């Protein structure tokens, strides 16, 4: 924790109650996120990886406080402290009306560029909506800003009058990026922004996002399941498994010297376009990911872990700083 | 630049263009729209009061200013002046006084028996569709009833949809206890036998245009809530709603600026059929005698009187064919709207 910290996530947990039976009693809890800690500095890109269903997206949505919209009974524990200037705001505690005035500081880029743009609005209307909400710009200023933003993301300002269905997937994602940048936010949560795109377009969009990060001095929380993408873009990498954070550290450390057995297995699955490294050992995990409805006791990963010990079932492993800035949730590899 | 604008049509505009290519529905729509607009000017077109009257150098406008006693124009009749006879008299005298009458100089309320016994007059040049049991002109009544029927159906449908969208949309959008509560209310409400409720209410209170709309709205708003609830429920989980919320849009704006335009399909496609339902509802209530109070012109009442005098064919034929052609035109519109909203192309309906 230093004065450059933008957001400090402490012990964040997101639980969805499951109701069943005649009287809709609470029968179980989906522990989508179960006590994670990390922080994002200003102008930093944090990559977050993990299998599908491990809670990456839930973390992202918790951080912009829109979980209650779809699941009103969600239980959010811990804190998500944003440092906006001198103000410290905890998004985990605020109600959706209290959080409204900070909305311009944290924005989101969505995974599916086809669903995240309202099909009944033109691009100009889509991008100028945050401007209407958070600035006092006149219509003319808004139009200028929209044109400028479109130019920044590599579209023509004349395309502002078009509807989303007239664009390709990559172009739509650029519109989504322009919308997120419109209010000069401090943090943009990118929820798998490129996984719905062609590989050739992915590279363009990622390079665009990196350029824009430099220009707008914004931080990214870059959620993805593609490790090579994350390694390319991130300053820090967080590896998640079943609602827990397995490893968190500088990108180079995590990518090249992973410590947690899950990170090792995950990284060994990254395809390398290098035939000379054909002999690389591939760690294949046994079995399936357990359900977050009924997580294993102790370490959640122990059911599939190649180095599991009987002691792993006893208590949840401590998320410990094993090397400088390198947190690992596994005492066996210390 | 202009070429680009041509490409960038909203989905609704595209559908409107497609609707225009479906000739049967489009022409029905145009014809009905023209007739309905005209029907608002019926007092100027079908009326027994003169449009303009010049009597001894002074101008009168009875259509606008209303009642003038016959004695004012030296006409020897009790009560209001009979302008048709005045016109005929002045013309035969060749006097300086003149009258401009509406195109069809009979009123739906006018009892023509006063001017000679004209009950059950068959269709003729003066009375295009004959007269009815009390000597009122059938064509005049038919025209005024058209305006009342369509207005009733339109106001009823718009009101129903407004309430249905508001409640159904909120149910889908907010979900949870609100949804549960209203769903139960709707279930109870919709299980009441509504026709009897309406008959009981209108046999106690003397019904009027707005009271009937009110009663029917209480019954009919439920239909739209089901559809809107489902639409809002589906749309609210889409990412564009999350995007709108994450930029700080209020729930109200999200519901009506973002979701509603994407949930318009059932509203627009059901609208013509709801209008058909509204027209038939008023006709059946009037037919049963629980609708508009007499002497309001209405197709249902005309049908009722016609059936009592089944040998006078024009009295049955007129309201039935008017009802039939109006309903079938609205159905053609509905069919074309449905077709215009269909992403697949069928050639059968063109």
Who contacts A32 (Cβ-Cβ below 8 Å, separation ≥6)? A14, A15, A16, A55, A58, A243, A292
Q: Is the pLDDT of residue B74 over 80?
A: no
ipTM surpasses cut 0.95: no
In chain B, CATH 1.10.3720.10 covers: 140-340
Given pLDDT bands bounded at 50, 70 and 90, which one contains residue B4?
A: very low
Given pLDDT bands bounded at 50, 70 and 90, which one contains residue B143?
A: very high
Which of A69, A110, A112, A180 is the best residue to mutate to test the B interface, defined by the most B CB atoms within 10 Å of its own CB? A69
For residue A111, what is the DSSP state?
Answer: S
Kindly report, residue by residue over A57-109, the tens digit of the pLDDT.
899 999 988 888 778 888 998 999 998 888 888 988 888 788 888 888 999 99
Kindly report, residue by residue over B42-55, the tens digit of the pLDDT.
988 888 888 888 88
Instruction: State mean pLDDT over B122-134.
Output: 80
Domains of chain A and any CATH numbers = 42-56+105-320 (3.40.50.300)
Given pLDDT bands bounded at 50, 70 and 90, which one contains residue B328?
A: very high
Which of A120, A135, A183 is the best residue to mutate to test the B interface, defined by the most B CB atoms within 10 Å of its own CB? A120
Instruction: State mean pLDDT over B326-340.
Output: 91
DSSP string, A280-315: PPP-PPPS-PPPTTSPPSSSTTTTT-TT--GGGGTS
B242 interface with A at CB cutoff 8 Å:
yes
Q: What is the pLDDT of residue B167?
A: 94
Kindly report, residue by residue over B169-198, the tens digit of the pLDDT.
999 998 888 899 999 999 998 888 877 888
Nearest CA in chain B to A67: B242
Which of B270, B235, B292, B253 has the alpha carbon at shortest distance from B109?
B292
pTM: predicted TM-score of the whole model, two decimal places: 0.83
Helix (H) or strand (E) holding B54: strand B52-55
Q: Is the pLDDT of residue B103 over 80?
A: yes
Instruction: State mean pLDDT over B333-343.
Output: 84
Best CATH choice for the domain B140-340 from the list 1.10.3720.10, 3.30.930.10, 3.40.190.10, 3.40.50.10800: 1.10.3720.10
Handedness of CA B32, B35, B40, B42 (dihedral sign): negative
Rounded Cα distance, B171 and B175, in Å: 5
Q: What is the pLDDT of residue B5?
A: 47
Q: What is the pLDDT of residue B114?
A: 56
Q: Is the pLDDT of residue A297 over 90?
A: no
- What percentage of residues in chain A have a pLDDT greater than 70? 99
Give B 154-193 residues with CB within 8 A of chain A.
Answer: 175-176
Kindly report, residue by residue over A261-290, the tens digit of the pLDDT.
998 888 888 877 777 777 777 788 877 888
Q: With contacts defined as CB-CB under 8 Å, which chain B residues touch A120?
A: 10-12, 261-262
Q: With contacts defined as CB-CB under 8 Å, which chain B residues touch A161?
A: 4-5, 8
**A270 Cα to chain B: minimum distance (Å):** 29
Rounded Cα distance, A330 and A333, in Å: 6
Instruction: State mean pLDDT over B117-132.
Output: 77
Given pLDDT bands bounded at 50, 70 and 90, which one contains residue B116?
A: low
Rounded Cα distance, A115 and B9, in Å: 19
Are the beta carbons of A179 and B262 separated by less than 8 Å? no
Nearest CA in chain B to A98: B248
Count of Cβ atoms closer than 10 Å to residue A24 Cβ: 9
Q: Is the pLDDT of residue B224 over 50?
A: yes
Given pLDDT bands bounded at 50, 70 and 90, which one contains residue B348?
A: low
Q: What is the pLDDT of residue A295?
A: 85
Are the beta carbons of B239 and A111 separated by less than 8 Å? yes
**B335: its two tokens:** 């069919």
For residue B100, what is the DSSP state?
Answer: E
A166 interface with B at CB cutoff 8 Å:
yes
Q: What is the pLDDT of residue B325?
A: 94
A19 interface with B at CB cutoff 8 Å:
no
Q: Is the pLDDT of residue B326 over 50?
A: yes
């Amino acid at each position: 924790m230093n004065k450059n910290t933008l957001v400090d996530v402490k012990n964040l947990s997101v639980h969805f109650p499951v109701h069943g039976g005649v009287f809709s009693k609470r029968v179980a809890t989906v522990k989508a996120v179960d006590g994670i800690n990390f922080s994002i500095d200003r102008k930093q890109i944090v990559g977050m990886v993990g299998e599908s269903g491990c809670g990456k997206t839930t973390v992202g949505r918790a951080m912009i406080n829109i979980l209650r919209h779809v699941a009103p009974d969600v239980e959010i524990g811990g804190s998500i402290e944003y440092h906006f200037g001198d103000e410290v705001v905890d998004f985990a505690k605020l109600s959706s009306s209290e959080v409204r005035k900070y909305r311009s500081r944290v924005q989101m880029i969505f995974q599916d560029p086809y669903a995240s743009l309202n099909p009944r609005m033109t691009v100009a209307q889509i991008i100028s909506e945050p401007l209407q909400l958070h600035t006092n710009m006149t219509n003319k200023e808004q139009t200028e800003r929209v044109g400028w933003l479109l130019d920044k993301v590599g579209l023509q300002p004349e395309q502002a009058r078009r509807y989303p269905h007239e664009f390709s997937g990559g172009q739509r994602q650029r519109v989504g990026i322009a919308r997120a940048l419109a209010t000069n936010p401090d943090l943009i949560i990118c929820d798998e922004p490129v996984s719905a795109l062609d590989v050739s377009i992915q590279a363009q969009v990622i390079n665009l996002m990196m350029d824009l990060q430099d220009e707008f001095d914004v931080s990214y929380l870059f959620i993805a399941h593609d490790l090579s993408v994350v390694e390319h873009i991130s300053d820090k990498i967080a590896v998640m498994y079943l609602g827990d954070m397995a490893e968190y550290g500088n990108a180079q450390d995590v990518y090249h010297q992973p410590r947690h057995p899950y990170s090792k297995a995950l990284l060994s699955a990254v395809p390398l376009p290098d035939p000379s490294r054909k002999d690389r050992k591939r760690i294949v995990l046994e079995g399936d990911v357990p359900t977050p409805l009924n997580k294993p006791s102790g370490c959640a990963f122990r059911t599939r872990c190649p180095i599991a010990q009987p002691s792993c079932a006893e208590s949840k492993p401590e998320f410990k700083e094993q090397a400088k800035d390198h947190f690992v949730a596994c005492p066996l590899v210390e | 630049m202009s070429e680009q604008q041509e490409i960038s049509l909203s989905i609704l505009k595209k559908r409107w263009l497609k609707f225009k290519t479906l000739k049967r529905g489009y022409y029905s729509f145009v014809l009905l729209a023209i007739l309905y607009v005209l029907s608002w000017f019926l007092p100027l077109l079908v009326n027994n009061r003169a449009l303009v009257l010049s009597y001894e150098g002074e101008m009168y406008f009875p259509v606008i200013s209303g009642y003038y006693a016959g004695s004012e124009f030296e006409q020897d009749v009790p009560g209001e002046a009979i302008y048709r006879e005045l016109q005929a008299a002045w013309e035969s005298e060749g006097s300086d006084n003149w009258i401009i009458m509406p195109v069809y100089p009979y009123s739906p309320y006018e009892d023509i028996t006063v001017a000679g016994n004209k009950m059950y007059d068959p269709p003729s040049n003066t009375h295009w569709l004959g007269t009815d049991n009390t000597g009122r002109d059938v064509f005049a009544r038919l025209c005024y009833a058209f305006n009342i029927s369509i207005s009733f159906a339109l106001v009823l449908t718009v009101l129903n949809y407004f309430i249905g969208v508001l409640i159904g949309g909120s149910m889908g959008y907010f979900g949870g206890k609100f949804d549960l509560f209203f769903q139960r209310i709707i279930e109870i409400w919709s299980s009441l036998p509504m026709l009897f409720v309406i008959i009981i209410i209108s046999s106690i209170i003397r019904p009027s245009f707005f009271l009937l709309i009110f009663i029917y709205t209480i019954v009919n708003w439920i239909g739209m809530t089901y559809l809107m609830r489902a639409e809002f429920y589906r749309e609210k989980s889409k990412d564009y709603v999350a995007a709108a919320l994450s930029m700080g849009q209020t729930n109200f704006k999200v519901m009506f600026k973002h979701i509603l335009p994407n949930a318009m399909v059932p509203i627009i496609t059901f609208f013509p059929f709801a209008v058909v339902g509204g027209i038939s509802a008023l006709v059946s209530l009037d037919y049963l005698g629980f609708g508009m109070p007499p002497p309001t012109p209405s197709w249902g009442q005309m049908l009722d009187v016609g059936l009592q005098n089944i040998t006078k064919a024009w009295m049955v034929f007129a309201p039935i064919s008017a009802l039939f052609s109006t309903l079938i035109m609205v159905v053609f519109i509905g069919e074309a709207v449905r077709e215009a909203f269909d992403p697949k192309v069928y050639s059968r309906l063109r």
